[in-house]
Amino acid sequence: MMDVTKTTNTTRKPVDERDHSNAENTGRGQKAKPLKARRNHAMAEKLVEVQSYQGDKIAEKVKTQPIPPRSGRSRRSLDGPGEHSNSGRPLQRPDSHSDEFAYYVLNRGASQQLTPAHRAGLSNAITGNVIASQGSIVDHHTAAAIEFTLIDALFNSPTFQNTVVYGLNNNRSLGQIRFTNEYEINPVRGSEFDSVAEVFADDIRDSNANQVPLFASHEARETPTGTPVVNIGVAPILILLNTHGGKKR
């Protein structure tokens, strides 16, 4: 057994008399790492390795990872034959524009679960894609709000996780999405405003859901190359930071 006493002391202490409050020096003059610390260090290195990937590279890697079934449920193919509803009839995919399709997505996604590797990869892909989208996001406050909201939902929202699982099984990864801030004048208020620049914070604050001056346009679309783009509302901090003509915007 290696002597863990200091190199200047040639007398080995009995086991019950050794001082365990501080790590002893090794022969190389460095403190020895406890086994748990070495394991944590190895895990940290592995996490850094995972986080070194960015954007679509992570999304592509995540898509290739198998998604395990949830405990107590068998893994099912998304559109596999032989699957039936509670009534015994074959389960058909509803129209994608219907409310039934939302329930279909959530139920199908609930049959499987994201692994820690999926979450780590997707969270880094979200960060990378927010950075890649900064040219179309109004400011860094909004970019941070998009990033943190999605990552928080990825780790804490079962509903959001179910939709992510469904997307991965259909080659539509959350890590592929780009983000933008695009607004249009509400046609109901078109006679009051000629452009978005004419809308002030007070105009929005004094409106209701039907009369709001601005609304997001193109909430979900694809670029000509097939990259999905989601339009997100501007973070509220803008109302406090931007002023125009003495009025808050």
What the block records as the tokens of 9 is: 């002391």
Residue 113 has pLDDT above 80, yes or no: yes
Predicted confidence at residue 70, as pLDDT, reads: 58
Predicted confidence at residue 235, as pLDDT, reads: 59
Number of CB atoms found within 10 A of residue 41's CB? 11
Number of CB atoms found within 10 A of residue 8's CB? 6
Going through the chain in order, the beta strands assigned E by DSSP cover 178-180, 183-185, 214-216, 220-222, 228-231, 243-244, 247-248
At 215, the pLDDT band (50, 70, 90 cuts) reads: confident
Q: What whole-number distance in Å separates Cα of residue 35 and Cα of residue 41?
A: 10
Please tell me which residue, 216 or 56, carries the higher pLDDT value: 216
Please tell me which residue, 161 or 29, carries the higher pLDDT value: 161
Domain count, the chain: 1
- Domain assignment present for 79: no
At 234, the pLDDT band (50, 70, 90 cuts) reads: low
- Domain assignment present for 95: yes
Predicted confidence at residue 126, as pLDDT, reads: 94
- Condensed to tens digits (0 to 9), the pLDDT of residues 22-75 reads 444 444 444 444 554 555 555 444 444 444 344 445 445 444 455 556 554 443
The most confident of the ranges 28-32, 74-78, 146-150, 238-242 is 146-150
- Condensed to tens digits (0 to 9), the pLDDT of residues 165-212 reads 998 888 888 888 999 988 888 888 989 998 888 988 888 888 887 888
Q: What whole-number distance in Å separates Cα of residue 81 and Cα of residue 93?
A: 12
- Domain assignment present for 173: yes
How remote is the C-alpha of 144 from its chain's centroid?
12
Burial grade of 74 (CB within 10 A; 0-12, 13-18, 19 or more): exposed
Please tell me which residue, 237 or 194, carries the higher pLDDT value: 194
- Domain assignment present for 125: yes
Task: Name the average pLDDT for the chain.
Answer: 70
Residue 62 CB contacts under 8 Å (≥ 6 apart), including other chains: 117, 118, 121, 122, 125, 168, 173, 175
Q: Taking Cα atoms as reference points, which of 167, 129, 121, 163 lies closest to residue 146?
A: 129
Q: Which domain holds residue 141?
A: 40-68+90-177
- Domain assignment present for 246: no
- Domain assignment present for 132: yes
Angle of the 116-132 helix axis to the 140-156 helix axis, nearest 10: 170
- Domain assignment present for 1: no
- Domain assignment present for 82: no
